[in-house]
Chains A and B, each alone.
Chain A
Amino acid sequence: MAATPATNPSQLLPLELVDKCIGSRIHIVMKTDKEIVGTLLGFDDFVSILSETHTWVLITPEGRRITKLDQILLNGNNITMLIPGGEGPEV
Protein backbone atom coordinates (compact mmCIF):
# COMPACT_ATOMS: atom_id res chain seq x y z
CA MET A 1 0.00 0.00 0.00
CA ALA A 2 1.26 3.50 -0.65
CA ALA A 3 2.53 5.44 2.34
CA THR A 4 -0.27 6.59 4.57
CA PRO A 5 1.00 9.71 6.29
CA ALA A 6 -2.01 9.93 8.56
CA THR A 7 -1.27 6.73 10.51
CA ASN A 8 1.13 6.75 13.39
CA PRO A 9 3.70 3.93 12.88
CA SER A 10 3.87 3.08 16.58
CA GLN A 11 0.21 2.09 16.79
CA LEU A 12 -1.17 -1.39 16.42
CA LEU A 13 -2.40 -2.31 12.95
CA PRO A 14 -5.52 -4.48 12.98
CA LEU A 15 -4.30 -7.02 10.45
CA GLU A 16 -1.00 -7.31 12.29
CA LEU A 17 -2.90 -8.33 15.37
CA VAL A 18 -4.77 -10.98 13.40
CA ASP A 19 -1.48 -12.17 11.96
CA LYS A 20 -0.01 -12.62 15.44
CA CYS A 21 -2.98 -14.77 16.30
CA ILE A 22 -2.18 -17.37 13.64
CA GLY A 23 -1.78 -20.73 15.33
CA SER A 24 -3.78 -19.80 18.37
CA ARG A 25 -7.42 -19.64 19.26
CA ILE A 26 -9.63 -16.99 17.78
CA HIS A 27 -13.26 -16.10 18.29
CA ILE A 28 -15.03 -14.68 15.25
CA VAL A 29 -18.26 -12.73 15.51
CA MET A 30 -20.41 -12.37 12.42
CA LYS A 31 -22.77 -9.55 11.49
CA THR A 32 -25.63 -11.86 12.34
CA ASP A 33 -25.94 -13.84 15.56
CA LYS A 34 -23.34 -16.41 14.66
CA GLU A 35 -19.99 -16.90 16.29
CA ILE A 36 -17.12 -19.25 15.66
CA VAL A 37 -14.35 -20.33 17.96
CA GLY A 38 -11.39 -22.15 16.52
CA THR A 39 -7.70 -22.18 15.79
CA LEU A 40 -6.68 -19.63 13.21
CA LEU A 41 -4.71 -21.16 10.36
CA GLY A 42 -4.59 -18.13 8.09
CA PHE A 43 -6.36 -15.29 6.39
CA ASP A 44 -6.20 -13.34 3.16
CA ASP A 45 -6.51 -9.74 1.99
CA PHE A 46 -10.27 -9.85 2.33
CA VAL A 47 -9.96 -11.41 5.78
CA SER A 48 -11.53 -14.65 4.68
CA ILE A 49 -10.55 -16.94 7.50
CA LEU A 50 -9.07 -20.40 7.28
CA SER A 51 -9.50 -22.06 10.59
CA GLU A 52 -9.58 -25.38 12.29
CA THR A 53 -12.79 -24.97 14.08
CA HIS A 54 -13.77 -26.51 17.33
CA THR A 55 -17.21 -25.08 17.79
CA TRP A 56 -19.63 -23.08 15.76
CA VAL A 57 -22.28 -21.50 17.91
CA LEU A 58 -25.44 -20.26 16.28
CA ILE A 59 -27.31 -17.95 18.63
CA THR A 60 -30.99 -17.66 17.93
CA PRO A 61 -33.86 -16.19 19.96
CA GLU A 62 -34.82 -19.74 20.96
CA GLY A 63 -31.39 -20.62 22.21
CA ARG A 64 -28.04 -21.79 20.94
CA ARG A 65 -27.18 -24.49 18.49
CA ILE A 66 -23.67 -25.78 18.75
CA THR A 67 -22.11 -27.53 15.79
CA LYS A 68 -18.63 -28.93 15.76
CA LEU A 69 -16.75 -28.68 12.51
CA ASP A 70 -13.32 -29.52 11.17
CA GLN A 71 -11.40 -27.19 8.92
CA ILE A 72 -13.41 -24.35 7.47
CA LEU A 73 -12.91 -21.53 5.05
CA LEU A 74 -15.03 -18.67 6.26
CA ASN A 75 -16.04 -15.91 3.86
CA GLY A 76 -14.87 -12.58 5.24
CA ASN A 77 -17.93 -10.78 3.90
CA ASN A 78 -19.94 -11.14 7.08
CA ILE A 79 -17.25 -10.91 9.71
CA THR A 80 -17.74 -8.09 12.22
CA MET A 81 -15.21 -8.79 14.94
CA LEU A 82 -12.20 -11.00 15.50
CA ILE A 83 -11.19 -11.70 19.06
CA PRO A 84 -7.77 -13.30 19.51
CA GLY A 85 -7.72 -15.92 22.23
CA GLY A 86 -11.44 -15.54 22.75
CA GLU A 87 -13.39 -18.23 24.49
CA GLY A 88 -16.61 -17.58 22.67
CA PRO A 89 -20.04 -16.90 24.03
CA GLU A 90 -20.92 -18.30 27.42
CA VAL A 91 -22.17 -21.81 27.05
Chain B
Amino acid sequence: MKNGFSSDKEKKKKESIFDLSKYIDKTIRVKFQGGREASGVLKGFDPLLNLVLDGTIEYMRDPDDQLKLTEDTRQLGLVVCRGTSVVLICPQDGMEAIPNPFIQQHDG
Protein backbone atom coordinates (compact mmCIF):
# COMPACT_ATOMS: atom_id res chain seq x y z
CA MET B 1 0.00 0.00 0.00
CA LYS B 2 2.78 2.39 0.88
CA ASN B 3 4.78 1.29 -2.12
CA GLY B 4 1.90 2.14 -4.41
CA PHE B 5 2.23 5.83 -3.50
CA SER B 6 5.98 6.17 -3.82
CA SER B 7 6.06 6.09 -7.61
CA ASP B 8 3.52 8.91 -7.73
CA LYS B 9 5.57 10.97 -5.32
CA GLU B 10 8.67 10.71 -7.45
CA LYS B 11 6.78 12.17 -10.38
CA LYS B 12 5.24 15.13 -8.49
CA LYS B 13 8.37 17.21 -7.82
CA LYS B 14 7.68 20.88 -8.55
CA GLU B 15 4.83 20.83 -11.04
CA SER B 16 3.03 24.11 -11.10
CA ILE B 17 -0.74 24.09 -11.12
CA PHE B 18 -0.73 27.40 -12.95
CA ASP B 19 1.17 28.09 -16.14
CA LEU B 20 2.47 31.64 -16.16
CA SER B 21 4.06 31.40 -19.59
CA LYS B 22 0.84 32.51 -21.21
CA TYR B 23 1.16 35.83 -19.33
CA ILE B 24 4.69 36.55 -20.53
CA ASP B 25 4.88 40.03 -22.11
CA LYS B 26 1.41 40.80 -20.85
CA THR B 27 0.49 43.26 -18.14
CA ILE B 28 -0.52 41.59 -14.91
CA ARG B 29 -1.66 42.80 -11.55
CA VAL B 30 -0.07 41.31 -8.45
CA LYS B 31 -1.20 41.54 -4.85
CA PHE B 32 1.20 40.88 -1.99
CA GLN B 33 1.01 39.86 1.62
CA GLY B 34 0.96 43.01 3.65
CA GLY B 35 -1.42 44.74 1.24
CA ARG B 36 0.90 46.03 -1.45
CA GLU B 37 -0.29 45.93 -5.03
CA ALA B 38 1.63 46.34 -8.22
CA SER B 39 1.21 45.84 -11.92
CA GLY B 40 3.69 45.43 -14.72
CA VAL B 41 4.65 43.42 -17.78
CA LEU B 42 5.64 39.89 -16.87
CA LYS B 43 9.11 39.23 -18.17
CA GLY B 44 10.00 36.09 -16.28
CA PHE B 45 9.13 33.77 -13.45
CA ASP B 46 10.25 30.58 -11.74
CA PRO B 47 8.39 27.67 -10.12
CA LEU B 48 8.66 29.36 -6.72
CA LEU B 49 6.57 32.19 -8.18
CA ASN B 50 9.32 34.78 -8.06
CA LEU B 51 8.41 37.22 -10.83
CA VAL B 52 10.20 39.69 -13.03
CA LEU B 53 7.99 42.66 -13.87
CA ASP B 54 8.92 45.49 -16.20
CA GLY B 55 7.55 49.02 -16.07
CA THR B 56 6.15 48.24 -12.65
CA ILE B 57 3.65 50.58 -11.05
CA GLU B 58 2.98 50.26 -7.35
CA TYR B 59 -0.44 51.30 -6.13
CA MET B 60 -0.24 53.09 -2.87
CA ARG B 61 -2.64 52.55 -0.01
CA ASP B 62 -4.40 55.19 1.98
CA PRO B 63 -2.24 55.90 5.05
CA ASP B 64 -5.30 56.12 7.28
CA ASP B 65 -7.03 53.02 6.01
CA GLN B 66 -4.45 50.51 4.90
CA LEU B 67 -7.02 48.49 3.03
CA LYS B 68 -8.12 51.24 0.70
CA LEU B 69 -6.28 52.01 -2.51
CA THR B 70 -5.72 55.62 -3.45
CA GLU B 71 -5.10 57.22 -6.79
CA ASP B 72 -1.43 57.51 -5.91
CA THR B 73 0.96 55.36 -7.81
CA ARG B 74 4.69 55.24 -8.12
CA GLN B 75 6.86 53.96 -10.90
CA LEU B 76 9.34 51.25 -9.99
CA GLY B 77 10.67 50.06 -13.35
CA LEU B 78 12.23 46.61 -13.58
CA VAL B 79 11.39 44.70 -10.43
CA VAL B 80 11.82 41.21 -8.97
CA CYS B 81 8.82 40.14 -6.88
CA ARG B 82 9.35 37.52 -4.21
CA GLY B 83 7.15 34.49 -4.74
CA THR B 84 6.82 33.95 -1.01
CA SER B 85 5.04 37.27 -0.77
CA VAL B 86 2.68 36.98 -3.75
CA VAL B 87 -0.94 36.20 -2.95
CA LEU B 88 -2.72 36.97 -6.22
CA ILE B 89 -1.87 37.28 -9.89
CA CYS B 90 -4.36 38.30 -12.53
CA PRO B 91 -4.34 40.00 -15.93
CA GLN B 92 -4.47 43.78 -15.64
CA ASP B 93 -7.54 44.09 -17.79
CA GLY B 94 -9.18 41.09 -16.20
CA MET B 95 -10.52 42.85 -13.16
CA GLU B 96 -12.41 45.96 -12.22
CA ALA B 97 -13.52 47.54 -8.98
CA ILE B 98 -17.20 47.09 -8.16
CA PRO B 99 -19.37 48.33 -5.30
CA ASN B 100 -19.24 46.06 -2.30
CA PRO B 101 -21.73 43.25 -3.00
CA PHE B 102 -21.69 42.03 0.56
CA ILE B 103 -23.10 45.06 2.30
CA GLN B 104 -26.36 44.13 3.97
CA GLN B 105 -29.26 46.52 3.73
CA HIS B 106 -30.29 47.33 7.29
CA ASP B 107 -34.05 47.20 7.09
CA GLY B 108 -34.47 46.54 10.84
**B81 A7 Cβ-Cβ under 8 A:** no
DSSP class of A's interface residues: helix, strand, loop or mixed? Answer: loop
Contact of A81 among B14, B46, B80 (CB under 8 A): B80
Chain B residues with CB under 8 Å of A85's CB are 77
Q: Give the A-binding residues of B (Cβ under 8 A).
A: 13-16, 19, 21, 24, 32-34, 36, 38, 43-47, 50-52, 56, 63-64, 74, 76-85
Q: Give the B-binding residues of A (Cβ under 8 A).
A: 1-2, 4, 6-8, 11-15, 17-18, 29-32, 47, 61, 76-77, 79-86, 89-90
**A31 B33 Cβ-Cβ under 8 A:** yes
Chain A residues with CB under 8 Å of B44's CB are 11-14, 17
